[in-house]
Structure 1
Amino acid sequence: MKSLLCLCCLFLTYCSGQTAPSFAIKPRSKAILKISYSNNNKVRSLFTYSSSVLPYMGEFRLEDSLLAGTHDKYISYEVASPQKGFLSIDNLGATIYLVPNDTLVLSLNLSQSHPWQDYQFSGRYASINQYYFDQARELNAVLTYSRALLANEMPTLVLYQQKMDSLLRVEQTYLSSYVKKHSLPTWFIQKERQQIRYSDAAYRTNAVSYRRFTKKDSADAVPENFYSFVTPNLLNDASAVHLIDYQRFLTDYFFYLYFKQKKIESAADYLPVLASKYLSGVAWDIFMARLLSEYLAGLPTSGEQMLAKYYPKFTNKQWINQLRTYYRDAYTLKPGEIAPNFALEDHLDSLAYLKDFRGQVIYLSFWFTGCAPCRQEMPLENELVNYFKGKPVKIVNICVRSSRADWAKVSKLYNLQTVNLYANKRWENTLISKYNVNVFPHYVLIDQAGKIVKNNCSRPSGNAKAEIAAFLKQ
């Protein structure tokens, strides 16, 4: 991905002693980005993204545009703590630094064709945002995306390790050289070193599971020393609990340990055991709050059982009480309501409508190509197709947040036997909203009249077969 090419501005900076923001976890706090742009000579595409530590899947994505002329545009991000995000205009951009209850101002003169020819950050954290934009321009890369691409590009994990080692050195060296020439807050330099370490760890641990489902890597494809970077201090780090990459690292590493063992079949049973073994204090609290959030969103029955078992162990129950209230009301698409319709592309380039399946029970799945849990369910979705063959049942899956090319590759890789549909950006946003999709994969059971039986129902690996069969008997 290309990054920034030119810079012709002075930037507001703060001395190295600038007071650090609070890193306490406060779910659903707001950070504001104000884009004040002038002399825009054409409509320009805008994309921005952020992730929040709590709740799980607390992601914010916005695809929008900057209209011609001179305007102010406000974007509100939901973040639980100071967090990195991403901003691009006309597909060029870099990392942004978002802080709860703070407004970051970006001033842009868009009279020229290149969107970043003339820009300026202002606000308390202007110098930090300038650092990220300088990094993207000088390295000609957004390093988060460079790491994400490596897992797919490298033919083996040995070569992947080497490339990741090199990328880690590049980022660490860049920070060290940058602070010799520019003023950055001392607290941020320390946090950025930590951020770099956990971004590297998160992508390394995710690469194994990603390649397991996309490249079909065998167990012996993982080098013996691959996890040598994982230490007790890296795992149990109370100062890093606010970092989304720290949480992702923990999750993927614990799943690696789960798949490695053979005795316990349920991840819902084993992951809390690992958390208790490796984590303590607030590190345990935040990890388990995210895990509970994931299960309450995707597997409510298991989530409620986990909640009842571990609730007394939480030091700070505020997060858990908020999660319980949120997910109790999260699935607003109720039984008996008409299921929202769609017109989506199938693998034959034809349009498929929900109404086409009227008269049959529909088991609907929402997934995306980078979702490992989604891929785990695909062979079992194929089994459902075969099990209900000859009966008035349709297993339908809808791919979102993915390119057409990736959708086609994954569908072929898993030889999907389901009714396999693709949602473009417009349909994606509509369906995710109307079906209240909070976590992936997301399953919906719809009756013969096109009415909701259950939104967020069991997965194929759970009780889906029995639920569908029982409904057919009614």
Structure 2
Amino acid sequence: MEVANVDTLVNPKESIDIDLKNQSMDYIHLAINQQSVDLFLIPGSLDTLTFLENDSIVFSGDLSTINSFLFQNVKENLSFSQLNHLTAMATHGEKDFIRFNEVNDSVSIIQLNNLELKRSQLPSWYVDLEKERLHYSAVANKLNSISYRKHMLNFEDDLPTDFLEDLVNSLPLENEKFIGESRYMLFLHEYTNLKNREKHETKVKVEKSEKPISIYMAEEIDQLFTRNVKDAVLAYRLSMLLESSRSEYDSTVLEYFSDNQMRNFMKEYFYSSVELKPGTKMPYFYLVNQKGEDVESNDYLGNIVLINFWADWCKPCIVEFPHENALVEKYKGKPVKIININIESKPERWKEYILRYRLKMDNLYANEIWTKNLKTKYDISGIPHSVLLDWNGNVVENKTKTASRGVDELIDELLRKMEL
């Protein structure tokens, strides 16, 4: 779950040691000398990459044959990212589910055939392991695609009878040797989403109760999985929640972990994972509003501020619009400003949506450069993304509750403090 970013310059004939403490087998992606490199890692492995003047790479160490194979795949346009891009391009906008499925399957077949073709170059244990992993990856992609097509593209696929059941039953659900491996974890994530959709209970329960989403999440995972796999899925889902909505985290969720080490890890992760900590000065911005006027962050000092980041393609963002408009009405005449900052959209679409949804808040637009800047400074990993600031321009909570989830309670509390 932890990501290590290494940005460095190494002089000719010098070396650099990178110690990645992975707890399971997995792949990582590196960009070195403007070259893409996929590396396979297992706990305790030691590998060396030597870069030659002709831009070739020599691999040595415990997993050298495997990593040489992966590097050769990049040259042959068979790397994971290249094939994922190929799949996305080939299926974009495809309405026919059978055709869509055939494309996904064809890419999986390419990967399996390539593995078999080069079997003699690879350890037999790796070939068997990778075959199994590719199976999980293929199923995860299909489950993810079905969900994406329904909720983002409004495609109601007519699935064959027992299609989903046969799909998830085609491989072992709980497979401890893959715990932590990204594609297996995506499979478990999508399986959990599938089961929740079948029950149609979570959304209704969350909307009618004040219980945080993290607790419902833990209860559902506790019913679906056992011991180490349950802990891994819960940690995976919680880390995603902390990336997007920290306010939905409740410390009692730690009681659902079976393993004390994992419980302690998640406890530490909660405190260390926030980038924009409470008390931090509001990151600066200089944007344009819907009237064409320049607006900067300092203009809002003296007001309690709720900033909502959104984009035209984000359906959950649009769901928030009526609730955000309601906040504008609630705090009319009070030192509270609701700001909606549009990112990753064309300016004409931004203006169209302001009119279509009669947006009453301060509407600001971020161009491509400012979007990149804001996503970094405000630690935006997904949208909708909201941040609450006090009247001095200090962060109260980044990734706070959205308007529909009761952020006005926090604003009311700040108003009381402001009036003291």
TM over 0.5: yes
2:49 maps to 106
What amino acid maps onto 2:264 in structure 1? N
Is the Cα–Cα contact under 8 Å of residues 369 and 407 in structure 1 kept in the other structure?
A: no
* Most deviating of 361-370 and 101-110: 361-370
SS in 2 for 1:388: helix
Which residue, out of 132, 152, 162, partners 2:102? Answer: 162
* 2:235 paired with 1:289: yes
The residue number in structure 1 matching 2:210 is none
For residues 9 and 293 of structure 2, the distance between their equivalents in structure 1, rounded to whole angstroms, comes to 33
User: Which residue, out of 451, 462, 465, partners 2:405?
Assistant: 462
CA gap of 1:295–1:69, structure 2 versus 1, over 3 A, is: closer
Of the three residues 328, 331, 342, the one matched with 1:388 is: 328
Assess, with a 3 A threshold, how the Cα gap between structure 1 residues 134 and 352 changes in structure 2: closer, same or farther: farther
Map residues 83-94 of structure 1 onto 2, 5 A cutoff. Answer: 83-89=26-32, 92-94=35-37
Q: Shift in Å at residue 158 of structure 1? A: 2.8
CA, structure 1 residues 411+109, in 2 after alignment: closer, same or farther (shift >3 Å)?
A: farther
- State the Cα distance separating 1:132 from its structure 2 match: 1.3
CA contact (8 A) 1:158 1:223 kept: no
Match of 1:235 among 160, 168, 173: 173
Letter in 1 for 2:123: P
* Aligned positions of 1:45-124 closer than 5 A: 54=1, 58-60=2-4, 72=15, 77=20, 79-89=22-32, 92-111=35-54, 115=55, 118-124=56-62
Counterpart-to-counterpart distance in 1, 2:353 and 2:97: 20
Task: Give the 3-state SS of the residue equivalent to 2:30 in structure 1.
Answer: strand
C-alpha displacement at 1:275, in angstroms? 2.8
2:388 is the alignment partner of 1:445: yes
Question: 1:133 is aligned with what amino acid?
Answer: F
Displacement of 1:304 in angstroms is 2.0
Task: Tell which deviates more after alignment, 333-342 or 245-254.
Answer: 333-342
Q: Aligned pair in 2 of structure 1 residues 243, 407: CA closer, same or farther (>3 Å)?
A: farther
Counterpart of 1:47 in structure 2 is none
Which stretch has the larger CA shift, 88-97 or 319-328?
88-97
Letter of the 1:158 counterpart:
I
**Distance of 1:122 and 1:462 partners within structure 2:** 53
Q: Is the 8 A contact 2:24 2:42 kept in 1?
A: yes
Q: Is the 8 A contact 2:25 2:178 kept in 1?
A: no
The answer to which structure has the higher helix fraction is 2
Whether the 8 Å CA contact 2:51–2:57 is kept in 1: the answer is yes
CA distance in 2, matches of 1:289, 1:88: 28
Is 1:217 aligned to residue 155 of structure 2?
A: yes
Task: Give the structure with the larger strand fraction.
Answer: 1
User: Deviations 1:306-329 (Å, cap 9, x if unpaired)?
Assistant: 515524xx1x22111121123135
Provide the secondary structure at the position in 2 that maps to 1:453: strand
| Structure 2 counterpart of 1:383, one-letter code | H
Read off the aligned partner of 1:171 and give its amino acid letter.
Answer: Q
RMSD: 4.0
Change in CA separation of 1:85 and 1:148 when aligned onto 2, cut-off 3 Å = farther
Deviation at 1:164, TM superposition (A): 0.7
Match status 1:275 vs 2:221 = yes
- Read off the aligned partner of 1:357 and give its amino acid letter: Y
- State the SS of the aligned residue for 2:393: coil
The structure-2 alpha-carbon separation of the partners of 1:301 and 1:443, relative to structure 1 and needing over 3 Å to count, comes to closer
Counterpart of 1:395 in 2: which secondary structure? strand
Shift of 1:348: 9.5
Cα deviation 1:188-242 (Å, max 9, x = unaligned): 2222112211221222122123233432324x55555552311174322222213
Overall identity of the aligned pairs, in %: 20
Cα distance change on mapping 1:337 and 1:157 into 2, 3 Å? same
For residue 175 of structure 1, report the CA deviation from its aligned partner. Answer: 0.7
Distance of 1:94 and 1:412 partners within structure 2: 42
Q: Which runs of 5+ in 1 are unaligned?
A: 1-53
Counterpart-to-counterpart distance in 2, 1:104 and 1:406: 45
Q: Could you tell me whether the CA contact under 8 Å between 1:202 and 1:246 is conserved in 2?
A: yes
Structure 1 contact 446–454 (Cα < 8 Å) conserved: yes
> Residue 147 of structure 1 contacts residue 164 of structure 1 at CA under 8 Å; is this kept in 2?
yes
Which amino acid in 2 is paired with 1:157? F
Within 2, Cα distance between the matches of 1:412 and 1:99?
50
TM-score (norm 2): 0.77
Contact 1:444/1:456, CA 8 A, preserved across alignment: yes
Contact 1:82–1:242, Cα closer than 8 Å, also in 2: yes
The structure-2 alpha-carbon separation of the partners of 1:365 and 1:245, relative to structure 1 and needing over 3 Å to count, comes to farther
Give the deviation of 1:154 after TM superposition: 2.9
How far apart are 1:446 and its partner, in Å?
Answer: 1.0
**C-alpha distance in 1 between matches for 2:189 and 2:261:** 22
TM-fit CA distance, 1:443: 2.8
CA offset at residue 252 of structure 1? 2.1
Q: Which residue of 2 aligns with 1:43?
A: none
Give the structure 2 partner of residue 254 of structure 1: 192
Letter in 2 for 1:395: I
Say which structure, 1 or 2, has more relative contact order (CA 8 Å, 6+ apart): 1
Q: Partners in 1 of 2:92 and 2:274 — Cα distance?
A: 35
Corresponding residue for residue 112 of structure 2: 172
Q: What is the CA deviation profile of residues 115-157 of structure 1, one whole-angstrom value per residue up to 9, with x for unaligned ones? A: 4xx3212221111111112223335553344345555353343
Change (3 A) 1:273 1:458: same
Q: Which amino acid aligns with 1:128?
A: I
Deviations 1:14-70 (A, max 9, x none): xxxxxxxxxxxxxxxxxxxxxxxxxxxxxxxxxxxxxxxx3xxx34456x5868966
Map of 1:48 onto structure 2: none
SS of residue matched to 1:81? coil
